[in-house]
Amino acid sequence: MSSSPIVYRQYTGESDLRHIMSLVQHELSEPYVIYTYRYFLRQWPHLSFLAYPDENSDPVGVIVCKQSMHRETRNRGYIAMLSVHRDWRKRGIASTLVRRSLAIMKQHGVEEVVLETEFDNSAALSLYESLGFIREKRLFRFYLNGKDAFRLVLVVPPGSEDQQDDIGIPSPIPPRPLFLAPPRMVPIPPLPYDADEASAR
């Protein structure tokens, strides 16, 4: 393991997907289908970051997020996936990944950031709490295996988009990387349900 500083890079495209999947899959009992990853990565590539031990190796950490208007009133960020390889934990990689995504979300006017995590994932809970998140509610039997989850939320005060975080974010960042054409929309009649977040509770 090298002691050189970790390199953080924004998601650059489909070639990163394999690594992201293997990092995330490792921690899940039920795998996500590839479309779950694409759902986020194609729409919010700028909110996904990877951590590399050096320029030439595979990534050892990843974060995948989205950002959209919640009930048309609140600008809400959502952390969908966060994972750091076992051998690389406890050295600040996850918190740096979260801060990176958060900084971009702030530039896009985020008002709150939410996520769900298993009620007994103490590593994730302390990580997010050290960043100011609170456990807003418990979600009863949220997972397929019958486990409860916590809904975590970070309230972002207005005006924090100009606040420089303690990490150097190159600024200004274009709202979206240029290589990305927006996903094509095909109009079809609306579905009878609307569930754009894993939990509508």
Ligand X SMILES: CC(C)(COP(=O)(O)OP(=O)(O)OC[C@H]1O[C@@H](n2cnc3c(N)ncnc32)[C@H](O)[C@@H]1OP(=O)(O)O)[C@@H](O)C(=O)NCCC(=O)NCCS
Tokens representing 30? 């039920």
Candidates 48-56, 57-65, 102-110, 132-140: pick the segment binding other proteins (CB under 8 A).
132-140
Taking CB under 8 A as the criterion, the residue among 18, 38, 74, 91 binding other proteins is: 38
Residue 68 or 107: the one with the smaller Cβ distance to other proteins is 68
Closest CA to 21 of 43, 9, 10, 37: 37
Tokens representing 115? 């996520």
How many residues are present in the chain? 201
- Residue 98 CB, nearest distance to other proteins (Å)? 15
191 within 8 A of 175, measured Cβ to Cβ:
no
Tokens representing 108? 């896009």
Taking CB under 8 A as the criterion, the residue among 108, 135, 147, 176 binding other proteins is: 135
Q: 62 exposed, middle or buried (CB, 10 Å; 0-12, 13-18, 19+)?
A: buried
- Element spanning 83, H or E: strand 74-84
- Pairwise CA distance, residues 38 & 194, whole Å: 19
Q: Which residues pair with 9 in a beta bridge?
A: 50
Q: Would you count residue 195 as binding other proteins (CB under 8 A)? A: yes
Q: Would you count residue 178 as binding other proteins (CB under 8 A)? A: no
- Residue 181 CB, nearest distance to ligand X (Å)? 30
Q: How many residues bind other proteins (CB under 8 A)?
A: 49
- Residue 155 CB, nearest distance to ligand X (Å)? 18
* Residue 75 touches which of other proteins, ligand X, none (Cβ within 5-8 Å per kind): none
Neighbours of 43 (CB within 10 A): 16
* Residue 186 touches which of other proteins, ligand X, none (Cβ within 5-8 Å per kind): other proteins
Residue 175 or 189: the one with the smaller Cβ distance to other proteins is 189
Tokens representing 96? 């740096």
User: Which residue ranges make up the site for other proteins (CB under 8 A)?
Assistant: 13-14, 30-36, 38-39, 42, 66, 119, 125, 129, 132, 134-142, 144-146, 148, 150, 153, 155, 157, 181, 183-188, 190-191, 194-198, 201
